[in-house]
Structure 1
């Protein structure tokens, strides 16, 4: 039986036997000690918990109410102990995996599928967010591993680069510049842009490239999802800066023209320094490395 706060587990034994002598013998303590504990508890609660009949006790309604709550507490403590033991086994533990919205259609599912195949008894909790949000969640111990961009500049985090995505301008296929083999942001700076909101890595990259070229861009439409950004390009309402090699963004009606820039979108896995390798998050990282190296 789990030990309760203030060591009240003895009360359940006494409530079951309703006899000081029998309960003391089971608890291997003097009867006087058990009687003293009961008296102290009753004084603290300001009421009796048993009706006295000589050496015998009869649990009253107040004692029965306390007993029900204590039994429920014991059950919860036992469940908590079992949960801790389960979490100590990496194969049956939990990994909290976060990823950016734009990676949820292709790269994140590959890593999730590989982990579930390799470790079917483990639990995995998923969360999506912006790169900055995911970095904060890892540092705050709200997640174990995150797939994000860009590389964080924090000594308490570790980074495994997964890929570097070249950048391209996504234009409608009937755009006047659609046949170019290479393009600069300045070539379309006067046109309306579609991008993610401020704080998203894709928006940061757009602003950085614009600063490199000394131009300003007008972001007329925003969406959290890069697939929606590409869909809006198809509709003809603007152009967009997007990763050149994302297979789920290559929509019919768009062209992706490589951007003349040295910048790229770096994508990687992050986790806290000191992450125990022999843990469920450690198994997830091992599985991710295997998936990425094998092309699964």
Structure 2
């Protein structure tokens, strides 16, 4: 990457106008100095104004004036001059070291964001619910990488509200969540539906059944996810529809932990199907009310997608009704 080319565009719009003095407004120091750093570094590297101007592709008088203004704004002499040949003063050497670090940082940042946006090898920051981490998300990424084998992923597991906050903070490009959010700053699309089951210990009074009405568990102790989790809100809503408020003995952060608590005889739970059968529990179909949760994908409204994010978004939307394993 040619550093002079990166800075050149922003420098031209400053070189033809007047000089903004640091003495008039100290808060403008970055605005004043930043466009001139590449000019300064080129002159220092060549120790010759004309050769530096040729490298940068700017008129030599423009470059000379820019260096004079830089020194005036700093209030120190950066160069000792002899015709068009220059050498750095002690202050100039000190300033050059910091200027080169700043320019290197800009160059690395530019390379990073360009790499992340590359259609073939770019990056997608993707959030999803814990309950989708063992099977659903690995299967999705495997299928996507059949056609996009080098796209990279940053994966974040969390509960729904936390992922929405990370979307808003710019930490995530997309997230799979439930319930499907409804907010003016978000776009959300329903992708699939997942049935929930009443999970009971294998020696429970209902364990011999295959189906159950949720009202039959009204007197049971429940183990649930913590408040704020989407599945907790769904559990509370379904129990309310069944005519009772659940008595909650334990609250956790992860569905398989709740299954372990059920297996230990500490309560019952409403949970999505597990990736693998768990010993010690029986999973019953809930016939009434209809026990299910919608799974959707969400992203920030109005934010442009990089090519890899756009490709993965289109892939997810193409999986409507096929997101979850049979």
Q: Into which bin does the TM-score normalised by the smaller protein fall?
A: 0.7 to 0.9
Query: What does residue 242 of structure 2 align with?
Result: 213
SS at the partner of 2:171? coil
Backbone CA RMSD of aligned residues: 2.9
Query: Is 1:256 aligned with 2:286?
Result: no
C-alpha deviation, 1:6, in angstroms: 2.8
Query: What does residue 220 of structure 2 align with?
Result: 191
Contact 1:118 / 1:287 at 8 angstroms: preserved in 2? no
CA distance in 1, matches of 2:275, 2:37: 61
Structure 1 runs not aligned, ≥5 long: none
Structure 2 runs not aligned, ≥5 long: 12-33
Query: What does residue 271 of structure 1 align with?
Result: 299
- TM-score scaled by structure 1? 0.85
SS at the partner of 1:281? helix
Contact 2:53 / 2:63 at 8 angstroms: preserved in 1? yes
Contact 2:191 / 2:323 at 8 angstroms: preserved in 1? no
SS at the partner of 1:91? coil
Contact 2:136 / 2:324 at 8 angstroms: preserved in 1? no
Query: Is 1:8 aligned with 2:25?
Result: no
Query: What does residue 39 of structure 1 align with?
Result: 68
Count of residue pairs the alignment pairs up:
292
Q: Structure 2 vs 1, CA of residues 170 and 202 (structure 1 numbering), >3 Å: closer, same or farther?
A: same
C-alpha deviation, 1:204, in angstroms: 1.1
Q: Structure 2 vs 1, CA of residues 49 and 272 (structure 1 numbering), >3 Å: closer, same or farther?
A: closer
Q: Which has the higher contact order (CA 8 A, sep 6+)?
A: 1
CA distance in 2, matches of 1:151, 1:28: 54
- TM-score scaled by structure 2? 0.78
Q: Structure 2 vs 1, CA of residues 15 and 236 (structure 1 numbering), >3 Å: closer, same or farther?
A: same
Pairwise mapping of residues 129-208 of structure 1 onto structure 2 (< 5 A)? 129-154=158-183, 156-162=186-192, 164-208=193-237
Q: Structure 2 vs 1, CA of residues 21 and 88 (structure 1 numbering), >3 Å: closer, same or farther?
A: closer
Query: What does residue 130 of structure 2 align with?
Result: 101
Contact 2:196 / 2:291 at 8 angstroms: preserved in 1? yes
